[in-house]
Amino acid sequence: METVHPPALNPTSDAPKVMVDIRHMNKFYGDFQVLTDINLTVHARERIVICGPSGSGKSTLIRCINRLEEHQDGDIVVDGIPLTEDVKNIDQIRSEVGMCFQQFNLFPHLTVMENCLLAPMSVRNMSRSAAEALARRYLEKVKIPDQAEKYPSQLSGGQQQRVAIARALCMQPRIMLFDEPTSALDPEMINEVLETMEELAREGMTMICVTHEMGFARKVADRVVFMDQGQIVESAAPKTFFGNPKNERTQKFLQQVLQH
């Protein structure tokens, strides 16, 4: 089954499809407020990069989108499905939203191929042969077709992260979430993962990335969102964001990050 992508984001055409819509969302850990009045709308084929100092709540925010974390008030609508207590909705959203983690989180007891087959076969009820064909296609896309029978521990960090991307893609998601995908990698492996992500972006995947890679943000993002202390401080196209940041906190952050 080939996913039909909605028309390209084009300011002059009529409104593109809204993929993620977050309105007035608050999240607490006990009494501590981690996210305050978050409003974020992501359209189909848009590429969002979320950055900010550590502890600013950026990971928490994208983990709310597939309900790895619960939010307390406000609304989250993903691809037209409201995110509520309803388990059915959560399952549906999770099968539409792919995610890559900082620590890869590959299943160590399964081979690369089995990692990729598991969800399509048991969630989508695909046949083994169809799922395998799909997995081979995506493993090829992330440029590791010949490692399918290896175990994750036999691969380098960069390769593991690319397998994790392939594993998520095998569910043919409409949105991809990246939670600091390069932070746990050795410097020489960061580029291979970023290249894979860029290719994905070129093909029109809707992406929300939490990352410190400002080069990637500049090159790929349609919009950069800066978060600090649980709030969205600034949100702008990369040109404005990096060239002419309005908020003082953004300026300070960029100074620190771009210094070297």
Partner 1 sequence: MDLQFLDIIPKSGPLFWGALYTLFVGLIACGVGIFVGTGLLLMRNSRFWLLRTFVGIYGSFIRGTPALVQILVFYYALAPLTGINIGPFTAGIMAVGFNSGAYVAEILRGGLSRIPKGQWEAAEALGLPKRKVWFKIILPQVFHSVIPLLVNEFTMVIKITPLLSTITLVELTRASQMLYNETFRPVEVLSLAALIYFIICFSISQFGEHLQRRSRKYRL
Which chain residues interact with partner 1 by CB under 8 A? 66, 68, 91, 94-95, 97-99, 101, 103-109, 118-119, 122-123, 151-153, 164, 167-168, 171, 177
Rounded Cα gap, residues 53 and 55, in angstroms: 6
If the CB atoms of residues 168 and 201 are measured against partner 1, the closer one turns out to be: 168
- How far from 41 is each of 22, 80, 98, 235, CA to CA, in Å? 6, 12, 18, 11
Q: What angle do CA 7, 192, 224 make, to 5 degrees?
A: 50
If the CB atoms of residues 65 and 221 are measured against partner 1, the closer one turns out to be: 65
Q: Please, are residues 233 and 253 in contact by the beta-carbon 8 Å criterion? A: no
**Max CA separation in the chain (angstroms):** 55
If the CB atoms of residues 151 and 242 are measured against partner 1, the closer one turns out to be: 151
Q: Is 233 helix (H, G, I), strand (E, B) or coil?
A: strand
Taking the complex as a whole, the smallest distance from the CB of residue 5 to partner 1 amounts, in Å, to 20
C-alpha 51: how far from its chain's center? 13
Instruction: Report the DSSP beta bridge partners of residue 51.
Output: 226
Taking the complex as a whole, the smallest distance from the CB of residue 250 to partner 1 amounts, in Å, to 30
Rounded Cα gap, residues 67 and 61, in angstroms: 10
If the CB atoms of residues 121 and 224 are measured against partner 1, the closer one turns out to be: 121
Taking the complex as a whole, the smallest distance from the CB of residue 226 to partner 1 amounts, in Å, to 25
Identify which of 169, 69, 66 has the alpha carbon closest to the alpha carbon of residue 119: 169
Taking the complex as a whole, the smallest distance from the CB of residue 107 to partner 1 amounts, in Å, to 6
Taking the complex as a whole, the smallest distance from the CB of residue 134 to partner 1 amounts, in Å, to 14
Other CB atoms within a 10 A radius of the CB of residue 74 amount to 16
If the CB atoms of residues 57 and 98 are measured against partner 1, the closer one turns out to be: 98
If the CB atoms of residues 112 and 201 are measured against partner 1, the closer one turns out to be: 112
- How far from 194 is each of 89, 134, 190, 211, 212, CA to CA, in Å? 31, 22, 6, 10, 12
Taking the complex as a whole, the smallest distance from the CB of residue 212 to partner 1 amounts, in Å, to 19
